[in-house]
Amino acid sequence: MARPRRSDDTRQLLVEEGAAGFLTNGYHGTGIKQVLDAVGVPKGSFYNYFDSKETFGQAVIDYHSQCIQRNMAAAFGPALDPVAGLRAFFARQMDEFVETDYTGGCLIANLGAELEGSEVLRESLSAAFRTWRDGMAVALREAQEQGTIRADIDAAELADLLIESWEGAVIRMKIDRTLEPLRKCLARLLDDYFRP
């Protein structure tokens, strides 16, 4: 995802800083104090905005989910060909990964891998995954109607496989510091398995 844009709203600044922190250091590795310090907010003020670190985490996940939705709208909207839209969405992610030298990866997958024991955060992550999956399925269904993607498998199921393979490939990208797993994932699925 893109580096968060700054806004004047302190709560939003805290969420954006949290997203950057969680992406780099994980949920447990990101202290509330360092988020507050980075934004320049006194420690006591945190509870004016959030009940707990968990509530803060929930706001960060929701914010990241909105970023994914914006990126999908930006990629799918202008494209007449929905498969070109899907490619544009992933190409943008790959550009961002190169910019950040293959660090970070996907916040939703990272937190999904890291977090245990919080029902609140688990539900936020589940909702974020579903929203992403549903958005991809819309583009895939449209492509099925246009005859550019195979129509014998449900679009939601194709979207699940595409997202999950992508997430696994993102983790290997982080470990091996190369886009190759991502390019191969798209080539195998979009250019082969998903073809009509």
Quote the least distance from Cβ 94 to a copy of itself, whole Å: 15
User: CA geometry: angle at 189 spanning 87 and 99, to 5°?
Assistant: 40
Residues in touch with a copy of itself (CB under 8 A): 24-26, 28-29, 103-105, 109-110, 112-114, 116, 122, 125-126, 129, 153, 157, 160-161, 163-169, 171-172, 174-177, 181, 184-185, 188, 193
Quote the least distance from Cβ 5 to a copy of itself, whole Å: 23
Quote the least distance from Cβ 48 to a copy of itself, whole Å: 27
Q: Choose between 87 and 183: whose C-beta lies nearer to a copy of itself.
A: 183
Q: Choose between 10 and 131: whose C-beta lies nearer to a copy of itself.
A: 131
Q: Choose between 3 and 28: whose C-beta lies nearer to a copy of itself.
A: 28
Quote the least distance from Cβ 61 to a copy of itself, whole Å: 11
